[in-house]
Amino acid sequence: MAQEAQEIQETPARNDLPRDESGALDKKSRRVQQMFGRIAPRYDLLNRVLSLNTDQRWRRRTVRMAKPAGPVLDVCTGTGDLAAAFAHATGDQVVGVDFCAPMLVRGKDKKACRSVRFARGDALALPLPSDRFDVVAVAFGIRNVADLDQGLRELVRVARPGGRVAILEFTMPRGRIFGAFYKLYFGRILPFLGNLVSRSRAYTYLNSSVLEWASREELAQRLQAAGCERVEVHPLTFGIAAVHLGVKAS
Ligand X SMILES: C[S@@+](CC[C@H](N)C(=O)[O-])C[C@H]1O[C@@H](n2cnc3c(N)ncnc32)[C@H](O)[C@@H]1O
Q: Which residues bind ligand X (CB under 6 A)?
A: 29, 32-33, 36, 76-78, 81-82, 98-100, 103, 122-124, 139-141, 144-145
Q: Which is closer to ligand X, CB of 71 or CB of 78? A: 78
- φ/ψ region of 171 (left if φ > 0, alpha if ψ in -120 to 50, else beta) reads beta
Give alpha helix (H) positions in 125-201.
148-158, 176-184, 190-198
| Of 29 and 198, CB closest to ligand X | 29
For residue 229, list its beta bridge partners.
Answer: 247
* Among the listed residues 49, 86, 50, 71, the one whose alpha carbon sits nearest the alpha carbon of residue 168: 86
For 134, the enclosing helix (H) or strand (E) is strand 133-139
* Minimum CB distance to ligand X smaller for 68 or for 141: 141
CB of 250 to ligand X, least distance (A): 27
Query: Nearer Cβ to ligand X, position 84 or 220?
Result: 84
Task: Pick between residue 14 and residue 230 the one whose CB is nearest to ligand X.
Answer: 14
> Residue 89 phi/psi, 5° resolution?
-75, -35
Least Å from the CB of residue 105 to ligand X: 11
Gyration radius from the chain CA atoms: 17
Give the nearest distance from C-beta 32 to ligand X in angstroms: 5
In 15-174, beta strands by DSSP E = 72-75, 94-98, 116-120, 133-139, 159-170
Nearest distance from C-beta of residue 248 to ligand X, angstroms: 20
Least distance in angstroms from the C-beta of 234 to ligand X: 17
Beta strands 241-248 and 228-236: pairing type?
antiparallel
